[in-house]
Structure 1
Amino acid sequence: MTSPEWLLRVLGGRPKPVKRPVRRDPPTPLTRERIADHLRARGYKFAVDDDGDLTGTWDGSRFWFLTLGDEAEILQVRGRWHRTLPVDQRAAVGLALNDWNRERIWPKAYVREEEGTLALYSEVSADLEAGVTDRQLAQLLACGLGTGVHMFTALDALLPAGDGAADEDIPDN
């Protein structure tokens, strides 16, 4: 044996192999229905948009719960900040989002020009080709929403007020 004598005494001889517990929540395929069930169980209000995607508002900002990929195996929680900014603020927005992306893992943040203004987005994505447990799904959805709302709150404090308005068609969660 290569283990020191004292270690064998403490362990009572050779250590026995550890049995791994049987999973009670096996991974199953990602579906929109599972996402919707989770959102309902949390008491969240959401709707299905024209593309069949689940969407709702949190703290005034719109979020989508998307299944992407050839087999709908990628979960993406995408948020759009409730404000827009003038295009001439692109440099300031770029610096703010670059700082965010450099200092944090989630969410990915980016800006897009839409109808002559700047729209800011958050994204958390996960490839769930091997399936996902209910617990993992809950954690990913909480991460996408929580970090997105946190980022938008931080941006409210950093960037000057724009002319954008909150979505009104779905009550805020």
Structure 2
Amino acid sequence: MDADYTVEGGDVYGRWEQGIFQFSDLGERDAEPVLQVHGTWELVLPEDAYPQAALFCNEWNAVNAWPKAYAQIEEVEHVVGIFGETTVDLTAAPTAEQVELVVSQGIGTALLLFDAAAEAFPDARAIE
């Protein structure tokens, strides 16, 4: 897909536009692969914005199948992150085309989520 990425352990990491992405196989040993595309918005909110961020994610999930959106408080930095996850149970021998489709869909829909978050939270700041 002509993307810059790094590999750590069994996971692959990359950055697209306003998101940081992790690609993981969540399948159990000797089971069919379960591919997860986990996106982290590159901006964060103050801790007291958690209720608004959770509501934003719930509203997103009510009208969008992908990605699953959620907000979470980062306990060390005391900021709120917004995340998008697309998880697909693949066949025992997925084709390169199937994997590419899941990855493209996971990245694309997460970037739509992050665009909507940027519009909803114009005062968000960069992750430090």
TM-score by length of 2: 0.88
Partner of 1:60: 18
Partner of 1:32: none
| Aligned AA (1:102) | A
CA-based RMSD of the aligned residues comes to 1.6
CA offset digits 1:135-172 (Å, max 9, x no partner): 22121111101001111011100113223338xxxxxx
SS in 2 for 1:100: helix
Q: Measure how far apart 1:125 and its partner are.
A: 0.4
Match of 2:3 among 28, 35, 44: 44
- Which stretch shifts more, 113-122 or 131-140? 131-140
* Structure 1 residue 113 corresponds to structure 2 residue 73: yes
Q: Measure how far apart 1:132 and its partner are.
A: 1.4
Q: Using the alignment, how far apart are the partners of 1:135 and 1:43 within structure 2?
A: 15
| Aligned AA (1:76) | Q
Unaligned runs of 5+ in 1: 1-41, 167-173
Q: Measure how far apart 1:129 and its partner are.
A: 4.5
Q: Using the alignment, how far apart are the partners of 2:79 and 2:59 within structure 1?
A: 21
Partner of 1:78: 38
Instruction: Tell me which stretches of 4 or more aligned residues in structure 1 moved more than 6 Å.
Output: none
Q: Using the alignment, how far apart are the partners of 1:60 and 1:87 within structure 2?
A: 20
| Aligned AA (1:126) | V
Conservation of the 8 A alpha-carbon contact between 2:50 and 2:73: no
Same amino acid, percent of matched pairs? 32
Q: Using the alignment, how far apart are the partners of 1:158 and 1:127 within structure 2?
A: 32
TM-score by length of 1: 0.67
SS in 1 for 2:123: coil
* Structure 1 residue 95 corresponds to structure 2 residue 55: yes
Q: Using the alignment, how far apart are the partners of 1:121 and 1:103 within structure 2?
A: 16
Bigger radius of gyration among the two:
1
Q: Measure how far apart 1:103 and its partner are.
A: 0.1
SS in 1 for 2:48: helix
User: In the comparison of the two structures, how many residue pairs are matched?
Assistant: 124
